[in-house]
């Protein structure tokens, strides 16, 4: 008998004639199995898992048909208190963002003990011993100190380990993990994935692992379910899905995953230097009146050049200073020292007014397409704002906006609509159109595709490449994703703790890394042994 | 999440109001509407001249001719209460408009320009440290009492509350990527304030405005009652109560009716303010669900 059996589950918006968000899906998980539920945003993968835990938001979503059997017991028939008991003892869940799932005002050790208090009658000493044992099992160093820490004193990876400890301490038979590594850096992600896999083997816990990342699937799954817009598309053992996908959707999803193998080098189109950064330094928290402690040296002696028509990638993990570099170049923050030349003109140290003629030459595409467009302005108003600031007549700017919207592949009639009427990918296209309206020489893309689904991500990357070919704009592409960097960048600079540790043509840096840190980033990239677009292992 | 926030920015739909607002704010709206109509049409609906003195009819109990009785000068109490609504509402609305406009401007500047912020906020802290009634009395006694000086005197202590609200909204909104995008598009500072930052303040300001209005009406009544407000000949709720104070043991209804009108008016405005907050703040909506 399967441990978890979801039969023909249907979930709909809790209203009269509410929209169905999950249609008629059936999933089964055997004891000790690691099953991945993979899909893009809006596919219903999280909703299915929340329904299993009985955690659907009340009044917003409800199960309209189907059964969820855990050990043969239908969870949908249980009372809230019975369900609460099952949630701790037989199934438990870990979430994407461990900071919000932990209570910030209690020590983490106490929070784990609380789970034991609620569901067992152990003595205090036994409880303590059990908590310490669990903390050791999830691979935390210096467990006494960690147990006495508050969540904010721990790193993201440590917090996720605490969440896992809390979820597994009652030895549930089923662990549901909802994108548990999405918010973590690749090297941390690798450790957490290994931990989950190890614990699953040792304890025989079945795991339902929800993710959007095919790399993660290739890394850990035994079996895979693919979901798309509320429907179950395909399921099967992981190797079958990766090597011989039957459905078009699965093929499309897999071929959208950018390959880690760098693309062939492009011939340079121009000798003109678009951006020249030399010895850039940025301290945070320095020079402020009565500032305590020492300043953070966020960017240390960073130098690089971007030629027209080429793309330079800056890759690194969170806190490496890559975004700070971008913001210094855009003059959203003032660099502490160093030179920034745009088209040969030194722009660091210019006043707000002096900078205005050069602002036009640099434009930025931001990470979060939901926040980078003013929700109260129409698309057209957003796009013409820049040109109008520089004296273009309104009618001309509007005509240009229409052209640009067409160029970035937006449907006709989008100009008069508001940002919330568009999807994330479309909004990112609009943001690109807005940047292009200024006819910039340099486009700074700060994690511009990180918030997008893979298939949309591929489209936006193609769009950027197309635009670059047509306009010879230089692109500074900031990303944490080596796969994306391998596919779009001509050159790559790897940053670690504010310093550029390796800088060179993409094929060299990612093909034959010289620095240890680059190597560790590459080995940590999930699914590095699998060539997704070609449905086969990477040729050695 | 982002989408719910955006929808909350354009929330007004009629079905929405009947479905989600509930009964208390509806009653409040009706009561307030009656008071407003009474104030506007006071010359038509008041049965008597509110300042016409009729010494023979002093302190008479309610009758067909004087539905609420008469005061110590023989003036009709009902007419005086109806006319009193005019002053109260005029001051309430006037103070709200002035406090919101001035507070919004100062708040925007303070939220966006660091140097100005340091100075402005210390001034605001100073203003907030003084009890508003005391400050108003001081201003009125300095420049003399008329409806305009009273309005100004009540407005000044209200301004810091608006400034603080606007400033805090601007401080968080200026970190939004679309504001940074506007900076890199070369948009000038006043235009960023006007186009990208100010619209964020409208919803919370609407809510704050109702509280400012209620508080202004109350302060006006207190000033009148203390004799520091609009001149005593003008019928205001505070003035009526102040004059009737002496006759409280004899004729308590002389204080009861204007007091009742004042309380109902303020209660209605506050209830409407609460309803506005529930509609405009998406988090409150969710909590209820």
Q: What is the pLDDT of residues A458-475, one digit of tens each?
A: 889 999 999 999 889 999
Catalogue the E-assigned strands of A2-77.
4-13, 20-29, 34-38, 61-70, 73-74
B contacts of A371 (beta carbons < 8 Å):
2, 176-178
Mark yes or no for CB contact A389/B180 under 8 Å: no
Higher pLDDT among residues B50 and B18, named by residue? B50
User: What pLDDT does residue A266 have?
Assistant: 82
Residues A467, A506, single domain; the answer is yes
State the CB neighbour count (10 A cutoff) for residue B267: 16
* DSSP string for A263-325: PPPPPP----EEEEEEEEEEEES-S-TT--SPPEEEEEEEEEEEETT-EEEEE--TTSSHHHH
**Cβ distance A207 to A34 under 8 Å?**
yes
* Average pLDDT of span A514-530: 89
Q: Is residue A114 part of a domain?
A: no
Question: Where do the structural domains in chain B lie, given as residue ranges?
Answer: 2-288
User: ipTM of this predicted complex?
Assistant: 0.80
Q: Is B181 on the interface with A (CB under 8 A)?
A: yes
User: Confidence class of residue B9 from pLDDT cuts 50, 70 and 90?
Assistant: very low
User: Confidence class of residue B16 from pLDDT cuts 50, 70 and 90?
Assistant: low
Q: Is residue A326 part of a domain?
A: yes
State the CB neighbour count (10 A cutoff) for residue A12: 18
Higher pLDDT among residues A290 and A377, named by residue? A377
Q: Is residue A413 part of a domain?
A: yes
What are the pLDDT digits (tens) for A467-505? 999 889 999 999 999 999 999 999 999 999 889 999 999
Q: Which of A12-21, A148-157, A283-292, B16-25 has the lowest mean pLDDT?
A: A283-292
Residues A483, A495, single domain; the answer is yes
What are the pLDDT digits (tens) for A445-455? 998 888 888 88
Cβ pairs bridging A and B (under 8 Å) = 69
Gap between the Cα atoms of A189 and A156, Å rounded: 10
* pTM, to two decimals: 0.82
Q: Is residue A43 part of a domain?
A: no
Mark yes or no for CB contact B185/A359 under 8 Å: yes
Beta bridge partners of A520: none
Mark yes or no for CB contact B186/A420 under 8 Å: no
Full domain range(s) for residue A424: 368-439
User: What pLDDT does residue A129 have?
Assistant: 92
Higher pLDDT among residues A99 and B234, named by residue? B234
Residues A467, A430, single domain; the answer is no
Gap between the Cα atoms of A213 and A194, Å rounded: 16
Residues A453, A334, single domain; the answer is yes
Which range of A53-57, A140-144, B263-267 scores highest in mean pLDDT? It is: B263-267
Q: Is residue A179 part of a domain?
A: no
Q: Between A370, A376, A438, which is nearest B185 by CB?
A: A438
Whether residue A293 is predicted with pLDDT greater than 70 in this model: the reply is no
Residue A114 Cα distances to A100, A106, A167, angstroms: 17, 11, 12
User: What pLDDT does residue A29 have?
Assistant: 93
Count how many domains chain A has.
2
Q: Is residue A340 part of a domain?
A: yes
* Average pLDDT of span A55-79: 87
User: What pLDDT does residue B221 have?
Assistant: 92
Count CA atoms within 13 Å of residue A289 on its CB side: 0
Angle, helix B237-244 to helix B202-225, in steps of 10 degrees: 30
What are the pLDDT digits (tens) for B168-194? 999 999 888 999 999 999 888 889 999
Residues A394, A482, single domain; the answer is no
Closest A-chain CA to B9: A376
Report the CATH number at residue A333.
3.40.50.300
Residue A326 to chain B, least CA–CA distance (Å): 12
Q: Between A360, A362, A364, which is nearest B181 by CB?
A: A364
**Cβ distance A210 to A20 under 8 Å?**
no
Residues A381, A523, single domain; the answer is no
Residues A422, A452, single domain; the answer is no
User: What pLDDT does residue A263 have?
Assistant: 83
Gap between the Cα atoms of A226 and A233, Å rounded: 5
Proportion of chain B above pLDDT 70, given as a percent: 90
In words, the CATH class of domain B2-288 is mainly alpha
Residues A351, A488, single domain; the answer is yes
User: What pLDDT does residue B11 have?
Assistant: 44
**Cβ distance B253 to B61 under 8 Å?**
no
Gap between the Cα atoms of A225 and A351, Å rounded: 56
A contacts of B196 (beta carbons < 8 Å):
374
Q: Is residue A132 part of a domain?
A: no
Residues A481, A520, single domain; the answer is yes
Residues A444, A522, single domain; the answer is yes
Residues A466, A376, single domain; the answer is no
């Amino acid at each position: 008998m399967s441990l978890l059996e979801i039969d023909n589950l249907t979930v709909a918006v809790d209203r009269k004639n509410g929209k169905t968000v999950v249609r008629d899906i059936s999933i089964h998980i055997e004891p000790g199995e690691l099953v991945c539920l993979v899909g893009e945003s809006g596919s219903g993968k999280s909703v299915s898992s929340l329904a299993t835990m009985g955690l659907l938001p009340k009044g917003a979503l409800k199960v309209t048909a189907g059964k969820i059997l855990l050990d043969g017991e239908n969870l949908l028939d249980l009372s809230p208190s019975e369900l609460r008991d099952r949630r701790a003892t037989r199934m438990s869940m870990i979430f994407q963002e461990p900071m919000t799932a932990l209570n910030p005002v209690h020590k983490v050790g106490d929070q784990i003990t609380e789970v034991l208090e609620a569901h067992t009658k152990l003595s205090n000493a036994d409880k303590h011993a059990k908590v310490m044992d669990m903390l050791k099992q999830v691979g935390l160093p210096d467990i006494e100190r960690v147990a006495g820490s508050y969540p904010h004193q721990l790193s993201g990876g440590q917090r996720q380990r605490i969440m896992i400890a809390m979820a597994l301490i009652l030895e549930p038979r089923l662990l549901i993990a909802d994108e548990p590594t999405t918010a973590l850096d690749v090297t941390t992600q690798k450790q957490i994935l290994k931990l989950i896999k190890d614990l699953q083997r040792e304890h025989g816990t079945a795991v339902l692992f929800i993710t959007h990342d095919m790399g993660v699937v290739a890394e850990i799954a035994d079996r895979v379910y693919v979901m798309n817009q509320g429907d179950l598309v395909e399921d099967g053992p992981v190797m079958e899905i990766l090597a011989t996908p039957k459905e078009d959707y699965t093929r499309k999803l897999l071929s959208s995953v950018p390959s880690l193998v760098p693309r062939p080098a492009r011939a340079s189109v121009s000798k003109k230097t678009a951006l020249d950064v030399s010895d850039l330094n940025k301290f945070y928290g320095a020079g402020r009146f009565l500032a305590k402690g020492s300043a953070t040296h966020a960017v240390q002696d960073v130098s690089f050049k971007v030629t027209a028509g080429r793309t330079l990638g800056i890759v690194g993990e969170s806190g490496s200073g890559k975004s700070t570099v971008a913001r210094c170049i855009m003059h959203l923050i003032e660099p502490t020292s160093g030179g920034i030349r745009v088209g040969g003109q030194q722009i660091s140290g210019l006043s707000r007014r002096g900078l205005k003629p050069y602002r036009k030459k640099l434009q930025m595409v931001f990470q979060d397409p939901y926040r980078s467009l003013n929700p109260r302005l129409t698309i057209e108003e957003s796009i013409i704002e820049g040109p109008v600031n520089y004296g273009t007549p309104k009618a001309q700017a509007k005509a240009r906006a229409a052209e640009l919207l067409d160029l970035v592949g937006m449907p006709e009639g989008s100009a008069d609509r508001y940002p919330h009427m568009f999807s994330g990918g479309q909004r990112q296209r609009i943001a690109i159109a807005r940047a292009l309206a200024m006819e910039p020489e340099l486009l700074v893309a700060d994690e511009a595709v990180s918030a997008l689904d893979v298939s949309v991500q591929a489209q936006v990357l193609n769009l950027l490449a197309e635009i670059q070919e047509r306009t010879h704009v230089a692109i500074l592409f900031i990303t944490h994703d080596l796969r994306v960097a391998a596919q779009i960048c001509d050159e790559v600079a790897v940053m670690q703790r504010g310093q550029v540790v390796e800088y060179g043509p993409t094929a060299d840096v990612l093909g034959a890394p010289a620095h240890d840190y680059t190597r560790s980033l590459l080995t940590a990239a999930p699914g590095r042994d699998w060539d997704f677009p070609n449905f086969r292992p990477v040729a050695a | 999440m982002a989408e719910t926030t955006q929808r909350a920015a354009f929330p007004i739909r009629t079905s929405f109001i009947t479905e989600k607002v509930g009964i208390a704010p509806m009653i409040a709206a009706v009561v307030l509407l009656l008071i407003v109509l009474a104030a506007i049409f006071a010359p038509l609906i008041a049965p008597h001249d509110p300042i016409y003195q009729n010494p023979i009819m002093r302190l008479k109990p309610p009758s067909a001719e004087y539905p609420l009785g008469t005061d110590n000068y023989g003036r009709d109490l009902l007419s005086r209460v109806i006319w009193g609504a005019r002053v109260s509402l005029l001051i309430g609305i006037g103070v709200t408009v002035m406090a919101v406009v001035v507070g919004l401007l100062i708040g925007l500047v303070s939220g966006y320009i660091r140097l100005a912020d340091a100075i402005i906020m210390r001034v605001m802290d100073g203003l907030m440290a003084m009890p508003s009634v005391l400050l108003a009395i001081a201003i009125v006694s300095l420049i003399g009492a008329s409806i305009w000086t009273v309005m100004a005197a009540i407005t000044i202590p209200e301004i810091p509350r608006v400034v603080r609200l606007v400033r805090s909204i601007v401080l968080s909104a200026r970190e939004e990527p679309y504001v940074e995008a506007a900076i890199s598009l070369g948009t000038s500072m006043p235009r960023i304030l006007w186009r990208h930052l100010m619209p964020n303040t409208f919803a919370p300001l609407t809510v704050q405005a109702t509280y400012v209005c209620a508080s202004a009406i109350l302060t006006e009544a207190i000033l009148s009652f203390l004799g520091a407000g609009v001149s005593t000949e003008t019928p205001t709720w505070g003035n009526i109560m102040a004059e009737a104070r002496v006759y409280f043991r004899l004729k308590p209804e002389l204080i009861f009716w204007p007091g009742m009108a004042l309380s109902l008016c303020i209660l209605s405005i506050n209830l409407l303010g609460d309803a506005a907050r529930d509609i405009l703040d998406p988090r409150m909506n969710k909590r209820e669900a």
